[in-house]
């Protein structure tokens, strides 16, 4: 977008805001953000951030979305962040008309807006025709069963979308199964976030379908399954089903119900896997024995894993000290998180040794670890590093 086109757009937006009765203060906030985005842009490509996070009194509503769409055909708009606003069905319908014909937009963030499964339908239908959008974030929007199934149906047609975020969308078991089934054939999605679904059964239906999908899908690289109520049995089934997967790079199992057996099953997977580089086990309960099992694998077998998040897992000195020894022997792990466990004196001394070794195993200036040592009366402790 040239400076002349920017001026024309600003003038048109001011007129449309006035015609729709939009407050001048809200219109000015949007204009300021667009001008800032233009100043940071390169090659005429615009990345606009209009997030409502932190400015509750100046959130974008349906009228302002209408004004934006009337003023600008979103030419050369590569990315737009509309998260944490008050966009409802009318606003989504306006956006959908633009997206249907758009040739430039690659990233769209609509997370935590007010539309539901009925409202998102027009957007999903527009993606049947769009061939440029690569990143779609609908997290926090209450899509429910209808909206979730619409998304799954869209993935049967759309082959350009690479990243899909559906965390906290009130999707249920049927939607998770539908997504897993579709991704057995879809060869474009590389990141899928389906954290915090509403599952109506404690059985392993979703785990079975996700495992089967991972066994055949060769494209998916990152899978986020936080808050899925995953148990040790679920982990066993997952690991058995996708042990031959060679595409997954990142796994998020945080905030589940994994105990020491689940960690042991995961360690057996890591023993032979050569692609997984990131694992998040934060807020589980793997304990000392679970971490010891993983530590043995990264010490003697695995040389691929780069990040391991194990905070808040009820791990004591036995597990953490064993882990610290493995970190000395392992060259691939560059980032770890241990805060929230039982950091006794032995653990504090062990990780202080890691951090103060020459050269340091985890250089503090690069923030590879979430704790920092300090001493009081000659006793070493660890503090959380933000």
Reported as a single tens digit per residue, the pLDDT across 200-240 is 776 678 999 999 999 999 999 999 999 999 999 999 999 99
CA distance 287 to 366: 28
- pLDDT of 40 reads 66
DSSP state, residue 86: B
Q: Is residue 310 included in any domain, yes or no? A: no
Confidence category of residue 54, pLDDT binned at 50, 70, 90: confident
CA distance 107 to 268: 37
- pLDDT of 6 reads 67
Q: Is residue 379 included in any domain, yes or no? A: no
Q: Is residue 48 included in any domain, yes or no? A: yes
278-280 β-sheet, strand order = 46-49, 77-81, 107-109, 135-137, 163-165, 191-193, 222-224, 250-252, 278-280, 307-309, 335-337
Q: Is residue 66 included in any domain, yes or no? A: yes
Residues with Cβ within 8 Å of 141's Cβ and at least 6 positions away in sequence, in order, are 110, 111, 112, 113, 115, 116, 120, 147, 169
Q: Is residue 196 included in any domain, yes or no? A: no
Query: What domain range includes position 77?
Result: 1-86
Q: Is residue 74 included in any domain, yes or no? A: yes
Q: Is residue 24 included in any domain, yes or no? A: yes
The count of structural domains within the chain is 1
312 Ramachandran zone, left/alpha/beta (phi>0; psi -120 to 50)? left
DSSP state, residue 369: B
Tell me which residue of 231, 83, 209 sits closest to 152, measured CA to CA: 209
pTM of this prediction exceeds 0.95: no
């Amino acid at each position: 977008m040239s400076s002349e086109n920017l001026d024309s757009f600003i003038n048109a937006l001011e007129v449309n805001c006035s015609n729709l009765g939009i407050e001048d203060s809200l219109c000015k906030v949007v204009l300021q953000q667009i001008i800032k985005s233009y100043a940071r842009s390169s090659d005429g490509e615009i990345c606009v951030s209009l997030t409502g996070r932190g400015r509750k009194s100046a959130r974008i509503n349906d009228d302002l979305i209408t004004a934006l769409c009337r003023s600008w055909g979103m030419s050369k708009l590569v990315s737009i962040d509309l998260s944490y606003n008050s966009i409802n069905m009318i606003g989504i319908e306006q956006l959908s008309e633009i997206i249907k014909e758009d040739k430039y937009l690659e990233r769209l963030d609509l997370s935590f807006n007010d539309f539901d499964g009925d409202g998102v339908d027009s957007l999903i239908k527009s993606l049947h025709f769009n061939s440029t959008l690569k990143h779609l974030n609908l997290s926090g929007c209450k899509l429910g069963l209808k909206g979730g199934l619409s998304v799954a149906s869209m993935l049967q047609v759309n082959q350009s979308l690479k990243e899909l975020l559906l965390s906290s969308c009130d999707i249920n078991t049927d939607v998770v199964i539908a997504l897993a089934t579709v991704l057995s054939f879809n060869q474009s999605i590389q990141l899928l976030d389906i954290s915090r679904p509403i599952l109506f059964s404690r059985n392993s239906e979703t785990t079975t379908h996700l495992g089967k999908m991972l066994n055949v899908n060769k494209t998916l690289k990152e899978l986020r399954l936080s808050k899925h109520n995953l148990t040790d049995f679920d982990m066993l089934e997952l690991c058995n089903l996708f042990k031959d997967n060679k595409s997954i790079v990142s796994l998020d199992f945080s905030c589940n119900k994994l105990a020491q057996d689940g960690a042991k099953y995961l360690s057996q997977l890591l023993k032979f896997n050569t692609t997984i580089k990131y694992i998040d086990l934060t807020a589980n309960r793997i304990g000392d024995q679970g971490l010891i099992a993983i530590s043995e694998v990264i010490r003697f077998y695995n040389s691929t894993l780069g990040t391991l998040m194990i905070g808040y897992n009820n791990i004591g000195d036995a597990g953490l000290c064993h882990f610290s020894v493995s970190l000395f022997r392992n060259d691939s792990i560059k980032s770890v998180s241990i805060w929230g466990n039982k950091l006794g004196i032995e653990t504090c001394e062990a990780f202080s040794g890691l951090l103060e070794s020459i050269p340091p195993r985890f250089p503090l200036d690069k923030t590879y670890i979430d704790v920092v040592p300090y001493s009081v009366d000659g006793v070493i402790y660890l503090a959380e590093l933000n």
